[in-house]
């Protein structure tokens, strides 16, 4: 059942409100700008596509258009941060961090300045734009850079809160955003804290813990609902902060269940699932199944069509749960976290 403490939106399954996660950024960055005049926004010729145009309209004197020059986007922002600004830099994730990763690493990461790197249009749900624009490697690229916090919001409302929180963090941040409208699962009252995962679906005796990040959390919840009706109990955890992971919650839920499924709209190599596996291999080794892109590039198509095609739908998650449950320890809770 849905965790009553999660404060999820009503009618989450019947008729959910729909909005892209990038819309949450557009709203949140304006709120952050109102709260702190040090907040500035830079973009690489993609103001409307990245929703940065809302900030441009509200604070034109604090908006910078660098043109099609993503390397400059990062280095200019790093310079501004060195002089006390809080810059958000926006472009498609295929270009930011795809094209300017070295500048992000050198001028932002090494210098430890509070630039928030926003990679928009991530995942196959970009749809018809095709493989060149479907960033599926960005979480792996960014979680490997020291000092970076990495956030992948589940919906537009959580994205709004995450943007406001990122502006206050004072260290480098990478934020991942989607273009396609997706279900709004959270409400303004749903708690949000960077680095703190949330149990959205709970069962008394789960046989598998599902850890999901980004908008595919909705597919995980659909899978949980179906599985419960079929007699299989699971838990579903919203892991919006990919780095640093919420060690306590993840180890606790994995240990309680005895098996794990990870869900991400990203390559399974080096991404969110890899981060979960790294943690659990040290703290609580359990069988793991990985939902995500299985070492493939994307292709053109409608968003939901591609989610189904590449095995990231609720149906694929249910199948992964069955496989994980068959491999689970006969005595869940066998390993206590340190």
**Whether the Cβ atoms of residue 209 and residue 324 lie closer than 8 Å to each other:** no
**Angle of helix 21-35 versus helix 156-169 axis, rounded to 10:** 40
Strands 116-120, 86-92: parallel, antiparallel or unpaired by DSSP?
A: parallel
Could you say which of 10, 14, 61, 70 is catalytic?
Answer: 70
The contacts of residue 272 (CB under 8 Å, 6+ apart) are 139, 152, 211, 213, 239, 242, 262, 264, 266, 292
Tokens of 50: 């990245």
Helix (H, G, I), strand (E, B) or coil at 157: helix
Tokens 């902060």, residue?
A: 241
180 is catalytic: no
**Whether the Cβ atoms of residue 210 and residue 237 lie closer than 8 Å to each other:** yes
User: Residue 138 belongs to what H/E stretch?
Assistant: helix 138-143
- Residue 124 gets the label, from left (phi > 0), alpha (psi -120 to 50) or beta, of alpha
Show which residues are catalytic: 70
């Amino acid at each position: 059942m849905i965790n009553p403490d999660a404060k999820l939106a009503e009618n989450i399954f019947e008729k959910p409100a729909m909005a892209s996660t990038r819309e949450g950024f557009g709203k949140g960055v304006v709120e952050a700008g109102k709260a702190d005049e040090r907040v500035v926004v830079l973009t690489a010729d993609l103001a409307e596509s990245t929703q940065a145009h809302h900030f441009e309209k509200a604070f034109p004197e604090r908006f910078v258009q660098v043109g099609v020059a993503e390397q400059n986007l990062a280095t200019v922002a790093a310079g501004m941060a060195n002089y006390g600004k809080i810059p958000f830099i926006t472009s498609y994730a295929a270009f930011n961090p795809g094209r300017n990763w070295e500048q992000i690493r050198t001028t932002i990461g090494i210098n430890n300045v509070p630039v928030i790197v926003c990679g928009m249009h991530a995942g196959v749900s970009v749809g018809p734009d095709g493989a060149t624009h479907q960033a599926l490697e960005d979480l792996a690229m960014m979680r490997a850079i020291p000092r970076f916090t990495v956030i992948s919001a589940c919906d537009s409302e959580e994205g709004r809160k995450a943007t406001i929180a990122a502006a206050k963090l004072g260290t480098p941040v990478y934020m991942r955003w989607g273009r396609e409208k997706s279900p709004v699962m959270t409400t303004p009252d749903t708690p949000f804290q960077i680095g703190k995962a949330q149990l959205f679906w709970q069962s008394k005796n789960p046989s598998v813990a599902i850890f999901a990040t980004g908008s595919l959390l909705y597919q995980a919840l659909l899978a949980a609902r179906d599985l419960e009706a079929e007699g299989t109990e699971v838990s579903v955890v919203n892991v919006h902060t990919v780095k640093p992971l919420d060690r306590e919650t993840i180890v606790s839920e994995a240990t309680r269940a005895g098996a794990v499924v990870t869900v991400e709209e990203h390559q399974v190599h080096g991404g969110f699932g890899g981060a979960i596996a790294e943690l659990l291999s040290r703290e609580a080794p359990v069988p793991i199944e990985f939902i995500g892109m299985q070492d493939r590039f994307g292709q053109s198509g409608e968003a939901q069509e591609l989610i189904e095609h590449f095995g990231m739908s609720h149906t694929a998650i249910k199948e992964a749960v069955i496989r994980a449950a068959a491999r689970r320890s006969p005595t869940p809770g066998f390993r206590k976290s340190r």
